[in-house]
């Protein structure tokens, strides 16, 4: 409806243009006060309405739009910053956990290794001791045997000699004279039998 | 067509004669283009502010760029105290700009080429700024006419000059816009007339002038709207932040 009116009035203005051009007028039309009041009136009306609608309806909306965009963008940036910080913290935490567990694993390895070494050493010490003891015992026994051997042999020799003489000559020989002979023999040939 | 380049500025009645008392307030071609300009502004900015999308479309971008442009202009010249007058200066800038631009379309009427229109706008700004100045600073606003650091001998002369320059503000403001628009449109009409009178042989030179002038006039249309708005900001700045 408004469109139609505007169209009609524009069309009408073109029609009346001819009339104006036909009527030649001198000087500046701007200084002709005929329509001054009309122009002031319509300027006040149109500019007043324009100002009112712009200031009350349209400009606050544009301002709000701009504000909301600005705040949305800054919110998004803030959120992105926050998330980046969070991910950084997570990454740090993760790295910490990894290094901690690495240390732990190292510790456990070292400890068990030490323990094992200690056990092995202890066992070896015990075994060494036992072996030493056994060797000592055996050596003692050998020494004892070696110490005892000449006297026993002498005794056996004395007894065998007296028995032999008794059987051979049938005479009782004094044990002491036999032992003297044996001692003498053993002293002379001892080295041959008992070594060292 | 008429040879007189001034006929384009003729105001004539559209429709019936309307009278309030002794005053003739008939709807004229000037009124028509005031209405068209205002409606165009309202239409563009209404469409440009309807949807609020993060990525604005062309109209929204236009509306928002205009908003920030005028906002920056006011902030730069008059500071943050001028915030309440933003809507007025925005309307003023857009109204003058659209009237100028609509005047660039052939067979249209240029509202701002009439001294009475520009003078009314300038007078309204002048009176408004003076009232704002007196409300903000009381009679201290008169200090505007007494610049600091002037030798006492020269002071009476300076004060007189300052007062004259202050009072001539509405005249200079209105005549600047009116004269620019009128001169430009007259010149285009004159060159257009040359094209017709020189005909197919010699008409090409004035035609090329005419084309160049059209471009220049579009620049002038924007520039004069900008100058009008920025001078309003400067006057407002004088009234709001009194330091001379």
Residue ranges of B 184-243 with Cβ closer than 8 A to chain A: none
Mean pLDDT of A108-136: 95
Contact residues on chain B for A58, CB-CB shorter than 8 A: 42, 45-46, 49
Q: What is the pLDDT of residues B50-87, one digit of tens each?
A: 887 778 888 999 999 999 999 999 999 988 888 899 99
DSSP letter for each residue of B130-167: HHHHHHHHGGGGGGGGS-TT--TTTHHHHHHHHHHHHH
Q: Which of A135-144, A185-194, B148-157, B164-173 is the least confident region?
A: A185-194
pLDDT at B65: 93
Shortest Cα distance, chain B CAs vs residue A86, angstroms = 27
pLDDT at A99: 96
Domain range for B56 is: 7-240
Mean pLDDT of B5-23: 84
**Could you say which of A30, A47, A55 has the minimum Cβ distance to residue B115?**
A30
Q: What is the pLDDT of residues B94-128, one digit of tens each?
A: 999 999 999 999 889 999 999 999 999 999 999 99
| Alpha-carbon gap, residue B35 to B16, rounded angstroms | 17
- CA-to-CA dists, residue B235 to A35, A140, B119, angstroms: 30, 129, 16
Q: Which residues pair with B13 in a beta bridge?
A: B28
Nearest CA in chain A to B60: A62
pLDDT at A113: 95
Q: Which of A134-138, B51-55, B83-87, B157-161 is the least confident region?
A: B51-55
Instruction: With beta carbons less than 8 A apart as the criterion, state whether B59 and B40 touch.
Output: no
Nearest CA in chain B to A57: B46
Using the predicted structure, report yes or no on whether residue A21 has a pLDDT greater than 80.
Answer: no
Q: Would residue B1 count as lying in a domain?
A: no
Nearest CA in chain A to B8: A21
Using the predicted structure, report yes or no on whether residue A162 has a pLDDT greater than 90.
Answer: no
- Rounded percentage of chain A residues whose pLDDT exceeds 90: 50
CA gyration radius for chain A? 69
Mean pLDDT of A172-180: 76
Assess A55–B contact: CB distance below 8 Å, yes or no.
yes
For an interface test with B, give the residue of A14, A16, A59, A64 to mutate (most B CBs within 10 A).
A59
Using the predicted structure, report yes or no on whether residue A151 has a pLDDT greater than 60.
Answer: yes
| Alpha-carbon gap, residue B152 to B98, rounded angstroms | 48
For an interface test with A, give the residue of B52, B75, B108, B225 to mutate (most A CBs within 10 A).
B52
Nearest CA in chain A to B33: A10
Contact residues on chain B for A75, CB-CB shorter than 8 A: none
Average pLDDT over chain A, rounded to whole?
83
pLDDT at B201: 82
Q: ipTM for the complex?
A: 0.90
Indicate the Cα dihedral angle B102, B108, B109, B112, nearest 10°.
Answer: 20
Smallest CA-to-CA distance from B44 within B25, B29, B64 is with: B64
Q: Is B114 helix (H, G, I), strand (E, B) or coil?
A: coil
Instruction: With beta carbons less than 8 A apart as the criterion, state whether B120 and B221 touch.
Output: no
DSSP letter for each residue of A35-103: GHHHHHHHHHHHHHHHHHHIIIIIHHHHHHHHHHHHHHHHHHHHHHHHHHHHHHHHHHHHHHHHHHHHH
Cβ separation A38–B10 shorter than 8 A: no
Cβ separation A46–B27 shorter than 8 A: no
Instruction: With beta carbons less than 8 A apart as the criterion, state whether A20 and B7 touch.
Output: yes
Assess A66–B contact: CB distance below 8 Å, yes or no.
yes
pLDDT at B7: 83
Other Cβ atoms less than 10 A from the Cβ of B157: the count is: 10
Shortest Cα distance, chain A CAs vs residue B201, angstroms = 27
CB pairs under 8 A between A and B: 157
pLDDT at A193: 59
Cβ separation A58–B88 shorter than 8 A: no
Shortest Cα distance, chain A CAs vs residue B150, angstroms = 41
Q: Give, in degrees to the nearest 5, the angle at Cα A153 between A148 and A159.
A: 130
Position B17 confidence tier, pLDDT thresholds 50, 70, 90: confident
| Alpha-carbon gap, residue B91 to A48, rounded angstroms | 9
Residue ranges of B 4-23 with Cβ closer than 8 A to chain A: 4, 6-7, 9-15, 23
Residue ranges covered by each domain of chain A: 143-194
Contact residues on chain B for A65, CB-CB shorter than 8 A: 49, 52, 60, 64
Q: What is the pLDDT of residues A70-89, one digit of tens each?
A: 999 999 999 999 999 999 99
Residue B13: phi and psi, rounded to 5, are -75, 140
- CA-to-CA dists, residue A142 to A132, A139, A149, angstroms: 15, 5, 10
Q: How many structural domains is chain B composed of? A: 1
Shortest Cα distance, chain B CAs vs residue A94, angstroms = 37
pLDDT at B79: 87
Assess A7–B contact: CB distance below 8 Å, yes or no.
no
Mean pLDDT of A32-43: 89
Q: Would residue B2 count as lying in a domain?
A: no
Q: Is A11 helix (H, G, I), strand (E, B) or coil?
A: helix
Q: Would residue B233 count as lying in a domain?
A: yes
Cβ separation A29–B7 shorter than 8 A: yes
Q: Is the pTM of this model over 0.90?
A: no
Cβ separation A46–B7 shorter than 8 A: no
Instruction: With beta carbons less than 8 A apart as the criterion, state whether B128 and B134 touch.
Output: no
Residue B24: phi and psi, rounded to 5, are -90, 110
Position A16 confidence tier, pLDDT thresholds 50, 70, 90: very low
Assess B121–A contact: CB distance below 8 Å, yes or no.
yes
| Alpha-carbon gap, residue A97 to A17, rounded angstroms | 89
Q: Which of A131-145, B163-177, B198-212 is the least confident region?
A: B198-212
For an interface test with B, give the residue of A13, A64, A72 to mutate (most B CBs within 10 A).
A13
């Amino acid at each position: 409806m408004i469109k139609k009116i505007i169209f009609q009035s524009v069309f009408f203005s073109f029609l009346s243009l001819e009339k104006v051009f036909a009527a030649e007028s001198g000087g500046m039309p701007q200084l002709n006060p005929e329509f001054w009041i009309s122009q002031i009136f319509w300027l006040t009306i149109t500019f007043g309405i324009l100002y009112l609608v712009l200031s009350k309806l349209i400009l606050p909306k544009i301002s709000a739009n701009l504000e909301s965009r600005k705040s949305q963008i800054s919110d998004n940036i803030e959120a992105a910053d926050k998330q980046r910080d969070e991910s950084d913290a997570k990454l740090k935490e993760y790295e910490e956990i990894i290094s901690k567990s690495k240390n732990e694993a190292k510790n456990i390895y070292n400890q068990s290794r030490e323990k094992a070494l200690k056990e092995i050493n202890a066992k070896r010490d015990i075994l060494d001791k036992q072996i030493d003891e056994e060797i000592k015992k055996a050596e003692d026994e050998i020494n004892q045997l070696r110490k005892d051997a000449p006297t026993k042999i002498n005794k056996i020799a004395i007894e065998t000699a007296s028995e032999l003489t008794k059987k051979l000559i049938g005479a009782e020989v004094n044990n002491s004279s036999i032992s003297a002979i044996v001692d003498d023999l053993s002293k002379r040939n001892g080295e041959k039998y008992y070594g060292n | 067509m008429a040879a007189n380049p001034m006929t384009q500025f003729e105001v004539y009645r559209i429709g019936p004669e309307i009278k309030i008392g002794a005053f003739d307030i008939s709807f004229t071609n000037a009124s028509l283009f005031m209405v068209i300009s205002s409606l165009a502004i309202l239409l563009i900015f209404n469409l440009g502010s309807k949807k609020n999308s993060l990525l604005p479309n062309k109209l929204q971008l236009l509306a928002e760029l205009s908003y920030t442009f005028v906002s920056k202009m006011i902030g730069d010249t008059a500071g943050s105290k001028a915030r309440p007058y933003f809507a007025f200066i925005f309307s003023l800038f857009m109204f003058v700009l659209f009237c100028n631009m609509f005047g660039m379309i052939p067979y249209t009427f240029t509202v701002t080429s009439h001294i009475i229109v520009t003078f009314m706008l300038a007078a309204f700004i002048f009176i408004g700024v003076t009232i704002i100045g007196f409300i903000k600073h009381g009679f201290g606003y008169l200090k505007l006419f007494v610049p600091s650091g002037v030798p006492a001998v020269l002071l009476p002369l300076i004060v007189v000059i300052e007062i004259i320059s202050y009072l001539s503000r509405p005249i200079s403001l209105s005549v600047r816009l009116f004269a620019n628009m009128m001169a430009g449109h007259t010149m285009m009409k004159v060159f257009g007339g040359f094209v017709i009178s020189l005909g197919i042989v010699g008409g090409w030179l004035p035609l090329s002038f005419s084309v160049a002038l059209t471009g220049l006039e579009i620049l002038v249309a924007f520039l004069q709207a900008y100058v009008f708005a920025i001078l309003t900001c400067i006057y407002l700045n004088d009234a709001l932040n009194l330091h001379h």
